[in-house]
Amino acid sequence: MTKLLKVPNHIAIIMDGNGRWATKRGLPRNLGHKEGVNAVERTIKSCLKYGIRYCTFFAFSTENWKRSKEEIDGIFDLLRSYISKDNNIFIENQIKLSSIGVIDPFPDDLKKALNDLKEKTKNFDKLEVVFALNYGGRDDIVRAVNKLIKQGNEINEKDILLSLDTGDIPEPDFVIRTSGEQRLSNFLLYQMAYSELYFPKVYWPDFNEKHFVKALKAYQKRNRRFGGLS
């Protein structure tokens, strides 16, 4: 493992710019997503190399259902083939795979592939990769609050935090959104209260180890005060 001083424990990534990457080259949007999967694989390797413990990828949002059926099916196909390989990066490197969001509306074979790999990797602890699938930050909060209402007690901030889909992992220290857009787009809204945000001007399919290290160096310069004094 390559040691860099003070790396984030949890990185959360909004993988933006796949469509623009493809359009710029006269290619269909799904080829941008396909190349985006290679960037996911590179990033997971970088997480292993630099000792990141948790990495969450925003792979499909609650708003992405508004896209064409062709694009949605293309993203599902990419996900399915990425997690269905026998010798995949998770098994080979002892990486735990988990997911957040509501996967019920996903195709049955995709849900099965996901659940199988989650089951196979559940005791791995080198790195935890979280795929956000049919995930929305507001939806996460609403579902958490509804769970708590059923318990009938007065609730506090911690109760909500623990009832979110991310209840058993730490809040993200560092959020990266590629492509230059500076929005949160309904990602981990409650969990990002004190995250450091970073917006590199690179389309997701081009994101590589060099960009990753540059991001880590930017993080190291941040002075996190969590609302207190420095």
Among 55, 59, 164, 176, binds ligand FPP (CB under 6 A): 59
82 makes contact with ligand FPP (CB under 6 A): yes
Among 4, 9, 20, 42, binds ligand FPP (CB under 6 A): 20
Question: Is residue 16 among the annotated active site residues?
Answer: yes
Residue 199: which of 9, 7, 15 has the closest Cα?
A: 15
* Torsional sign, CA 110, 132, 134, 23: negative
Among 8, 18, 144, 219, binds ligand FPP (CB under 6 A): 18
In this structure, which amino acid lies at residue 150?
K
Q: How far is CA 139 from CA 94, 99, 228, in A?
A: 31, 15, 30
Which stretch, 18-26, 149-157, 159-167, 184-192, contacts ligand FPP (CB under 6 A)? 18-26
Min dist. Cβ of residue 153 to ligand FPP (A): 37
202 makes contact with ligand FPP (CB under 6 A): no
Q: Give the whole-angstrom CA distance, residue 140 versus residue 163.
A: 9
Are 161 and 191 a contacting pair, CB within 8 Å? yes
175 makes contact with ligand FPP (CB under 6 A): no
Among residues 64, 93, 186, 208, which one is catalytic? 64
Residue 16: which of 202, 215, 179, 198 has the closest Cα?
A: 179
Token match 């809040």: residue?
Answer: 171
50 makes contact with ligand FPP (CB under 6 A): no
Nearest-CB residue for ligand FPP = 19
54 makes contact with ligand FPP (CB under 6 A): no
In this structure, which amino acid lies at residue 41?
E
Q: What are the strands of the beta sheet with 95-100, ordered from one edge?
A: 95-100, 127-135, 54-61, 10-14, 174-177, 196-198
Residue 196: which of 229, 224, 170 has the closest Cα?
A: 224
79 makes contact with ligand FPP (CB under 6 A): yes
**Total interface residues for ligand FPP by CB under 6 A:** 18
Binding mask 101-140 for ligand FPP (x = CB under 6 A): ------------------------------x---------
Binding footprint of ligand FPP on the chain (CB under 6 A): 15-20, 33, 36-37, 40, 57, 59, 64, 75, 78-79, 82, 131
- The residues that are catalytic are 16, 64
